[in-house]
Structure 1
Amino acid sequence: ISAQQLGAYLLDRARARGARLLAARVDGVDIKNGAVEAVRLRGDGPERVLTGCFVNAAGPMLRQVGQMLGLELPVFSERHRKLAFEDRLGAIPRDAPMLILADPLDLPWSDEERELLAEDPQTRPLLETLPAGAHCRPEGHGASPWVLALWAYDAAPVPEVFPLPPDEQFPEVVMRGLAQLIPALEPYVARPPRPVVDGGYYTKTRENRPLIGPTAVRGAYLFGALSGYGVMAACGGAELLAAHIAGGPLPEYAAAFDLARYEDPAYRELLESWSDTGQL
Structure 2
Amino acid sequence: MTQHSAEVAIIGAGIAGIATAYYLAEHHNITNVLLIEQGQPMAFTSAQSGENYRNWWPHPSMVDFTNHSIDLMEKIARDSNNRLHMNRRGYALATRRTQVDDLVEQIRYGYDNKHDDLIRFHGSSDSVSYKFAEKPDWESAPDGVDVMQNQDLIRRAFPSFSEEIQTVLHIRRGGDISGQQMGMYMLEKYRAQGGRRLTGMVKQINQQDGFELEIETGEGLTRVKAEKIVNTAGPFAGKIAEMIGETLPVYNTFQQKIAFEDVEKAIPRNLPFSIDLDEQCIDWSEDEKDWLAGDDEYKWLTEQMPGAIHCRPDGGDNGSWLKLGWAYNETPQDVAWEPVLNDQFPEIALRGAARLNPSLKAYYGKLPRNMTHYGGWYTMTEENWPLIGSMGENGAEKGAFMVAALSGFGTMAACASADLVAKWVAEDGKPKYASDFSLERYQNAPLLAELKEASKGVL
In which range does the TM-score fall when normalised by the shorter chain? over 0.9
Q: Structure 2 vs 1, CA of residues 267 and 275 (structure 1 numbering), >3 Å: closer, same or farther?
A: closer
The answer for the alignment partner of 2:455 in structure 1 is 276
Q: Which residue of 235, 251, 260 corresponds with 1:60?
A: 235
Alignment partner, residue 37 of structure 1: 211
Q: Separation in 2 of the partners of 1:242 and 1:183?
A: 46
- Residue 50 of structure 1 aligns with an amino acid whose one-letter code is K
Q: Answer whether contact 1:76 1:205 (CA < 8 A) is retained.
A: yes
Equivalent-residue separation in structure 2 for 1:80 and 1:258 (angstroms): 25
1:129-177: CA deviations, max 9, x gaps?
Answer: 0000111111013432100110122333222122121201100011111
What is aligned with 2:302?
A: 127
- For residue 156 of structure 1, the aligned residue among 331, 335, 338 is 331
Whole-angstrom distance in 2 between the partners of 1:203 and 1:94: 31
| Counterpart in the other structure of 2:319 | 144
Q: Give 1:279 shift.
A: 1.6
Counterpart residue number, 1:95: 270
2: CA distance between counterparts of 1:260 and 1:219? 17
The structural deviation recorded for 1:266 is 4.2
The aligned counterpart of 2:344 is 169
Alignment partners' CA distance in 2, 1:172 and 1:187: 12
Structure 1: distance between partners of 2:351 and 2:421: 42
Q: Which whole-Å CA distance do the structure 1 matches of 2:296 and 2:210 have between them?
A: 47
Q: Provide TM-score, normalisation by structure 1.
A: 0.93
Distance 1:96 1:264 in 2: 41
Partner of 1:229: helix, strand, or coil? helix
Following the alignment from structure 1 to structure 2, what is the Cα–Cα distance between the partners of residues 154 and 239? 31
1:189 aligns with 2:364: yes
| Correspondence 1:83 to 2:258 | yes
Two-structure CA RMSD over aligned residues (Å) = 1.7
Alpha-carbon distance change, 152 to 122 in structure 1, aligned in 2, over 3 angstroms: farther
| Count of matched residue positions in the alignment of Structure 1 and Structure 2 | 277
- Equivalent pairs: percent with the same residue? 38
- Secondary structure of 1:22's counterpart equals strand
Structure 1 runs not aligned, ≥5 long: none
The DSSP-based 3-state class of the residue aligned with 2:237 is: helix
After superposing on structure 2, the runs of 4+ consecutive aligned residues of structure 1 that deviate more than 4 Å are 265-271
What is the distance in 2 between the residues matched to 1:177 and 1:92? 15
Which residue in 1 is equivalent to 2:431? 251
* C-alpha distance 270-135 of structure 1, shift in aligned 2 (>3 A): closer
Q: What's the offset of the Cα at 1:270?
A: 4.3
Larger RCO: Structure 1 or Structure 2 (Cα < 8 Å, ≥ 6 residues apart)?
Answer: 2
> Per-residue CA shift, 1:181-213, capped at 9, x if unaligned?
111111101322223101201111111111110
Given that residues 202 and 228 in structure 1 are in contact (C-alpha distance below 8 angstroms), is that contact kept between their aligned partners in structure 2?
Answer: yes
1:207 alignment partner, one of 364, 383, 388 = 383
Deviates more, 1:141-150 or 1:37-46: 37-46
Give, as a single letter, the amino acid of the residue that structure 2 aligns with 1:151.
W
Report the Cα offset of residue 119 of structure 1: 4.2
Give the one of 259, 282, 288 matched to 1:107: 282
Q: How far is 1:103 from its partner?
A: 0.2
Any conservation in 2 of the 1:22–1:44 contact (CA below 8 Å)? Answer: no
Pair 24,155 (structure 1): closer, same or farther in 2 beyond 3 Å: same
Query: Compared with structure 1, are the counterparts of its residues 105 and 41 closer, same or farther at alpha carbon in structure 2 (3 Å cutoff)?
Result: same
- Structure 2, unpaired ranges of 5+: 1-176
Partner letter of residue 155 of structure 1?
E
Counterpart CA distance in 2 for 1:225 and 1:47 is 28
1:233 maps to a residue whose letter is: A
C-alpha separation between the residues in 1 aligned to 2:431 and 2:203?
Answer: 34
Query: Which deviations, in whole Å up to 9, do the C-alpha atoms of 1:16-56 show, x marking residues without a partner?
Result: 11110111111111113xx7421111105771111121111
Calculate the TM-score normalised by the size of structure 2. Answer: 0.58
AA aligned opposite 2:217: G
Distance, in Å, in 2 between the alignment partners of 1:18 and 1:177 is 48
Q: Does 2:194 align with 1:18?
A: yes
Contact 2:347/2:364 (<8 A) preserved: yes
Superposed CA deviations along residues 52-89 of structure 1, whole A, max 9, x for unmatched, are 21111000111111111111110111111110011111
8 A contact 1:134–1:151 mirrored in 2: yes
User: Which has the larger displacement, 82-91 or 116-125?
Assistant: 116-125
Equivalent residue number for residue 260 of structure 1: 440
Deviates more, 1:250-259 or 1:186-195: 186-195
Question: What amino acid sits opposite 1:121 in the alignment?
Answer: D
Which position in structure 2 is the counterpart of 1:5? 181
Q: Which residue of the other structure, out of 189, 196, 203, is the alignment partner of 1:27?
A: 203
